[in-house]
Amino acid sequence: MGLARCAELGGSESSKLMVRRLLHGLGVLWGALTLVFVLFSMAPDPARQLAGQNESEEVVQAIRVKYGLDQPLPIRYARFFEGMIPVGQDGEHWGWVGIDLGRSFLTDRPVKDAILSALPATVLLALTAMFLALLLGLCIGFGLSLIAGSALDRAVLGLAALGMSAPSFVMAIVVSWLFGSVWNHWTGLPMTGGLWRVHPFEGPELAWDHLILPALTLGIRPLAVVVQLTRNSAVEVLGTSYVRTARSKGISTSRLLTHHVFRNALNPVLTAASGWFASMLAGAVFVEYVFGWQGMGMLMFRALEQSDMPVVLGCVMVVATTFVVVNFFVDAAYTVLDPRVKLSGAR
């Protein structure tokens, strides 16, 4: 009975902890959107930019009315957040009405449709880059933990530090130039291109070769982080008493890594992976621009360049929501990977 009571209390504390973290995430989402909204409200009149400097004031005023720019700032702020509430009144009944992010100032297209058409390409790019970073990073990191302190270990860690410090747009230019131009006769990879190419006879087709270079570039920094975290965490676990006891009993190195080291060394790597995956949706802006990858990063870049506030706010909402959702599920996964998180978080 005592153990059951403790388990019940532990579950209750874990639930409260998850609720607090969810509320904290929603606060982060609200703060990010509010900050972007306020910054764009300080910009010059977008209606005048859309109409042109030589257009009459009547036309400019009509544009303001069409997009609600004639309303006071608090009303525009309230209407923006009202559009993100998916439940509302549809005619005479209340129900699911979907999310309304407004319409683009430039194309007059619903922002939701623009994001939904661009998001799959960015998600595919981010998933591919993260998969490569995790696959290579875990293998290299665990391998280095077995030869910690050697010359090869120091050399790889030095390269990892260099990969972490290199800006994405610089690496994108270097990778595009080397693999797409200088070594093109070996790689056969193009410098630019989106997910789809138009064949002159067969029509649109998937261009998987266009994915390689941007995914490689986007995965360099998370790969460097995963290598360092995996190596350091595995070295720490390998130095614990229970691992030394397992070694003294003659357990093989492969079994030691898979059964004793891997799970205990995974927590910091999981944190890094979750953070990097969410940040990839925002960091893909420069990579997509250099490689001509038609995703949400390219959409956000063009919207920023042309002061298209509804599109920028929609893209920020997607990125911030991804941060909140991913971090929430990672926190939940911690309670499975390491039960001690329940106790430390509940204190």
Closest by alpha carbon to 137, among 266, 288, 307, 297? 266
pLDDT for residue 6: 44
- Taken in order of first residue, the domains within the chain and their CATH numbers are 107-305 (1.10.3720.10)
pLDDT for 264: 72
Q: Return the pLDDT at 92.
A: 64
pLDDT at 108: 84
Q: Tell me, what's the pLDDT at 345? A: 47
Q: Which two tokens stand for residue 301?
A: 């870049």
Q: Residue 91: its pLDDT value, please?
A: 59
Q: Which two tokens stand for residue 43?
A: 């910009």
CB 256 within 8 A of CB 246: yes
Tens-binned pLDDT, residue by residue, of the chain (347 aa): 444 444 444 456 667 777 887 888 888 888 888 888 888 777 777 777 777 777 788 888 888 888 888 888 888 888 888 877 776 666 566 666 677 788 888 888 888 899 999 888 888 998 899 888 888 988 898 888 888 888 998 999 898 888 888 887 788 888 888 888 888 888 888 888 888 777 777 777 888 888 899 998 988 888 888 898 888 888 888 777 777 777 777 777 677 777 767 777 777 777 667 667 667 776 677 888 889 888 888 888 888 888 888 888 888 888 888 878 877 777 776 666 555 555 444 44
What interhelical angle do 220-238 and 111-146 show, nearest 10?
40
Report d(CA 219, CA 301) in Å as an integer: 20
What was the pLDDT predicted at 326?
78
